[in-house]
Amino acid sequence: MTMHNHAEVGEISERIVLVGDPNRAKYIAEHYLEDAVLVNDVRCAYCYTGMFEGVRVSVMAVGMGGPSMLIYATELCRDYGCKILVRAGTSGGYRDDMKNFDIVLSQAVSTTSGINDNMFNGHFSPVADFGLLSTARSIADEEHLVTYVGGTVCNDRLYRDENYKSKMWKKYGMLCSEQEGCAFYTAAAEFGCRALMMVGITTGIRYDENGQEIFVDLPEREHAQSMDDLVRLALKTAAHAE
């Protein structure tokens, strides 16, 4: 039990999927986990533990933004013994060829966040666990899901003005912008845990004539992907990673 999580040690699986929205955690538990049990509801950070394809898995809501993610990921790794953590979230895509709910597997995270400032005598580069990344890509290929693998950028600000040099991230190959990846991978690294962030692209990031970011709706693919595709990929990765 911690300040933010009233589950007892042992009630949360070593394999866990993290989402932002508590209603999404509830949905996953109800639709994908067998014999799901609610083990935490403090601050609506719902955490359920059940069985998925014969493997004990938990799913937990951790809110939005780096500080919230850092709190929960730290406690899950440090206090609850979680070893495999998969984040299933949403993101804004930079690439012009992306369609609605294409999936990005984040290989490494660049960031504008300050959560690691003054922690190192240099700049720490948070990265995914290669084994989890390989497992997720293999499963995605078997499921015929459209995925991208590469760098992502983590921002504290969602709404940014023309002074933010967003086009530089796109120029240097970043696939998408989100808000939790740096904290997620940092906490996992600190405690020697394995982590992978995967995000569904729900909006496109484009620019007006003044260089101001604008969000645009994305077209569907012929075989449309959805949040359920992302959820299944996250659960399968967490459950079946060696």
pLDDT score at 150: 98
pLDDT score at 169: 93
Cα separation of 95 and 93, whole Å? 6
User: Residue 28 is part of a domain; what is its CATH number?
Assistant: 3.40.50.1580
Specify burial of residue 56 (Cβ count, 10 A radius: 0-12, 13-18, 19+).
middle
pLDDT score at 227: 97
Is 10 among the domain residues?
no
Which run of H or of E encompasses 120? none
Query: Which amino acid would we find at residue 191?
Result: F
- pTM of the complete model beyond 0.95: yes
Is 2 among the domain residues?
no
pLDDT score at 96: 96
Is 59 among the domain residues?
yes
pLDDT score at 211: 80
Give the three-class secondary structure for 204. strand
Beta bridge partners of 108: 127, 151
The whole domain housing 213 covers 15-240
pLDDT score at 164: 81
Say what percent of the chain tops pLDDT 70. 100
The sign of the torsion formed by the CA atoms of 31, 130, 90, 15 equals: positive
Cα separation of 17 and 74, whole Å? 14
Q: Please compute, for residue 101, the number of CA atoms within 13 A of its CA located in the half-sphere on the CB side.
A: 15
Q: Which residues of the chain carry a pLDDT beneath 50? A: none
Is 4 among the domain residues?
no
pLDDT score at 208: 87
Phi/psi for 184 (5° steps) reads: -60, -55
Distance of CA 174 to CAs 88, 92, 149, 171, 205, Å? 18, 11, 10, 8, 12
pLDDT score at 210: 81
Closest CA to 227 of 198, 195, 185, 194: 198
Closest CA to 91 of 22, 19, 176: 176
Number of domains in the chain: 1
